[in-house]
A and B are shown apart, each in its own frame.
Chain A
């Protein structure tokens, strides 16, 4: 399962790419303006609370945004480019994986 997304960690650059969910981890593979290809892997065990932020000022690229607390790092924020439905699907999957 993969999604087209943009993401940001803390106040770092905004990356665009895909998100893959498998084997208890989340892979973000993409690129940011001025930076080369990048890959970020987060295990579900590293993730704290996850929620969907709808307030305009807290959105990433103007879309509802999935926010995840990361144990040893800044907040991760992800927006889906595959349409709004995909974000909720993603949130549900993360909740289900965290509960498992």
Chain B
């Protein structure tokens, strides 16, 4: 049998090394096999393989061959990538040296390091990305490494690159699937929570955990011009709970407008970011993800600062937040609907109750009082003597006053004219009474033809005008107020305008008046707009679509 030539041996070793890649070795074991093969193939006494971490600045692994454990322990820590090793990390090109210490980039060896002279360094490259380097030293027989050695190691480096990349992809996919799993879990938790406040709280807390973020807030529309932090998670953010921010001058508003999420690595450099919020949080980075259901944007999630050394969020984080937001949006929409239905039932029931009471007062009590009144009249005609006559007259006077109160109460509960003749006559009556009692000059312009609107629209607009007029007396100190009904295309609007002292609509914190109006109008998919400024009067527009 013929002895194998040296280059046949080399090829066999190379083949074995390649086979190892497809076997089920761990990355470390595999890289070890490769570095051993490289040392053996090139006749190097010492071999090493350094893997650069994903940030590209330092070594994350360093595997050696030819150095026994004792020596290894005596040398101590991993090389930190200075000197020649560092040069190869920064400049991924092969390097051959006759003597390491002659190179000007050399920083010398640590104590207890065996002497090394001849050197071959080969980068581990794949599609232009450097994953690390092979380092070989002390070629046998005091020789220098050859061009052929370099080519062989370059082949091995190709194998190493594929292995490292696969391992990284695998790790990333593992992480992604772990996150998907928790995402799924959280999604299921969301689906079972129907109380809106608790749901929003859950959304904020869970997303914060999922992303490892410092702050998560859920913003929902508050009127047409503002957004409100409906839920927040993260210690520094609790003060933001309930805070409103303008839609127009905030990143959150912009993201809602565009319906597209955004990732910002430096909030300071982005002029769209709301300064007040980012300052309150001391935020450095941010993610904004819209909550979209069936093409409608119902809110936005705002996230700040990844915890850890690097505050920036990755593409994966953005993807997680988006996936999460998709599920959260459906849950939020559902619980808003449930809340709306509940509110609608309460409002309807209240109106029904008022109508029933008003009718009872008007028909039963009113009729009874009227009969008593008639009876007293006839009685007055027949009673004899001053005293009984006076007593009857007093009684009659009392009944008249009571009848007046009962009628007024019935009207205040719910005017019959609203049900029988509609919104315009009802508002005519309301504004007349208002003017007579307050002496505020009131103009009513019924810009509607003689038409009836759907019952719930008539009721809502009537109640809104009623509450607005009450607000005018209570707060405006106005001399004039006008009430106008208009039809604009497919909708009807009530406009109540006064020339009083005005107020800052964003800062109004009164009772439930404005809030109640807003809720009422939202039940009908309408909008409530308030234009006012201190000293400048107030205009309130309630607009409702009418089919």
Given contacts A31-B479, A37-B501, A55-B397, contact A81 B437 (CB under 8 A): yes
If A6-B437, A84-B408 touch, does A54 touch B401 (CB 8 Å cutoff)?
Answer: yes
| Interface residue from A4, A54, A62 paired with B474 (Cβ < 8 Å) | A4
A45 to chain B minimum Cβ distance, whole angstroms, is: 26
**Residue interface mask B389-410, A partner, CB < 8 A = 1:** 0000000011011101100110
**In the complex the two chains form, what is the Cα distance from A32 to B473 in whole Å?**
11
Question: Measured between alpha carbons, how far is A16 from B511 in the docked complex, in Å?
Answer: 19
* In the complex, A18 has a CB within 8 A of chain B: yes
Please name 25 pairs of A and B residues whose Cβ atoms are closer than 8 Å in the assembled complex, sorted by A.
A4-B473, A4-B474, A16-B437, A16-B439, A17-B477, A18-B473, A30-B473, A30-B477, A31-B477, A32-B439, A33-B439, A33-B440, A54-B398, A56-B400, A56-B401, A62-B404, A63-B408, A63-B437, A79-B437, A81-B438, A81-B470, A81-B473, A82-B470, A83-B409, A83-B412
Which residues of A are found within 8 Å of B337, using beta-carbon distances?
none
**Interface: B3 (CB within 8 A):** no
In chain B, positions 218-240 with a C-beta closer than 8 Å to chain A are none
Establish whether residues B404 and A16, one from each chain, have CB atoms under 8 Å apart when the complex forms.
no
Partner of A31, one of B400, B405, B478: B478
Asked if B475 CB lies within 8 Å of chain A CBs, one says yes
When each residue 57-85 of chain A gets 1 if its CB lies under 8 Å from chain B and 0 otherwise, what string results?
Answer: 00001111000000000000001011110
B-to-A contact residues, CB < 8 Å: 397-398, 400-402, 404-405, 408-409, 412, 436-440, 470, 473-475, 477-479, 501, 511
Q: A29-B477, A81-B437 are in contact. List 16 more A-B contacts (CB 8 A).
A: A2-B474, A4-B470, A16-B440, A17-B477, A18-B473, A18-B474, A54-B402, A54-B405, A55-B401, A56-B400, A61-B436, A62-B437, A79-B437, A81-B438, A82-B470, A84-B405
B473 touches A17 (CB 8 A): yes
Interchain nearest-CB distance for B364 vs A (Å): 18
- Interface pair B439/A14, CB less than 8 Å apart: yes
Quick one: which of A1-17 are within 8 Å of B by CB?
2-4, 6, 14, 16-17
Contacts A37-B501, A81-B437; A16 near B405 (Cβ below 8 A) = no
B437 and A37 contacting across the interface, CB-CB below 8 Å: no
Q: Which residues of B contact A29 (CB under 8 A)?
A: 477
Known: A4-B473, A56-B397, A81-B470. A61 touches B478 (CB 8 A): no
- CB-nearest residue of chain B relative to A37? B477
Task: Tell me, in angstroms, the Cα distance from A4 to B398 when the chains sit together.
Answer: 26
The binding surface of chain B is classed by DSSP as: helix
A-B pairs, 5 with minimum CB distance: A16-B438, A18-B474, A33-B439, A37-B477, A31-B477
CB distance from B247 to the nearest CB of A (A): 31
What is the CA–CA distance of A21 and B359 in the complex, to the nearest angstrom? 34
Contacts of B436 in A (CB 8 A): 61
Tell whether A64 pairs with B405 under 8 Å between CB atoms, given A16-B439, A31-B478: yes
Write out the residue numbers on chain A whose beta carbons fall within 8 Å of the beta carbon of B477. 17, 29-31, 37
> Given the known A-B contacts A55-B401, A63-B408, A84-B408, are A6 and B438 also in contact in the complex, defined by CB atoms under 8 Å?
yes
**A20→B412 CA distance, assembly (Å):** 22
A32–B477 Cα distance when bound, in Å, is 9
Q: Which residues of A from 79 to 100 have beta carbons under 8 Å from B?
A: 79, 81-84
Q: For A2, what are the chain B residues with a Cβ–Cβ distance below 8 Å?
A: 474, 511
Q: Kindly list chain B residues whose C-beta atoms are within 8 Å of the C-beta of A62.
A: 404, 408, 437
**A79 to chain B: which residues have CB within 8 Å?**
437
Q: Which of A4, A54, A79 has the most CB of B within 10 A?
A: A4
In the bound complex, CA of A55 to CA of B404 (Å): 11
Which residue on B lies nearest to A14, using beta carbons? B439
- Please, which residues of chain A bring their CB within 8 A of the CB of B470? 4, 81-82
Q: How far is the CB of A100 from chain B (nearest CB, A)?
A: 25
With a cutoff of 8 Å between Cβ atoms, the chain A residues found around residue B478 in the complex are 31
A55 cross-chain contacts in B, Cβ below 8 A: 397, 401
Distance in angstroms from B315 CB to nearest chain A CB is 54
User: Which of B400, B404, B436, B477 has its CB near the most chain A CB atoms (within 10 A)?
Assistant: B477
State how many angstroms separate the Cβ of A6 from the closest Cβ of chain B: 6
Interface centre among A16, A29, A55, A61 (most CB of B within 10 A): A16
Q: How far is the CB of B330 from chain A (nearest CB, A)?
A: 42
Q: How far is the CB of B251 from chain A (nearest CB, A)?
A: 38
Q: How far is the CA of A82 from the CA of B474 in the complex (A)?
A: 10
A17 cross-chain contacts in B, Cβ below 8 A: 473-474, 477
Docked Cα-Cα span, A84 to B410, in Å, equals 11
Query: Closest B-chain residue to A83, C-beta based?
Result: B412
List residues of chain A with CB within 8 A of the CB of B439: 14, 16, 32-33
CB distance from B22 to the nearest CB of A (A): 82
Question: A48 vs B412: C-alpha distance in the bound complex, in angstroms?
Answer: 31
Bound complex: CA A52 to CA B258 (Å): 60
Residues A18 and B475 in contact in the complex (CB < 8 Å), given A64-B405, A84-B405: yes
Q: Give the chain B neighbours of A32 by CB distance below 8 A.
A: 439
Provide the bound-state CA to CA distance between A6 and B433, in Å.
Answer: 13
Q: Which residues of A contact B440 (CB under 8 A)?
A: 16, 31, 33
List chain B residues, Cβ under 8 A from A37.
477, 501
Question: What residues on A are CB-neighbors of B401 within 8 Å?
Answer: 54-56
Inter-chain CA distance A17–B473, complex, in Å, is 5
Shortest CB-to-CB span from B285 to chain A, Å, is: 46
In the assembly, what is the distance between CA of A13 and CA of B401, in Å? 24
Query: Closest chain B residue to A54 by CB distance?
Result: B401
Chain B residues within an 8 Å CB radius of A56: 397, 400-401, 404
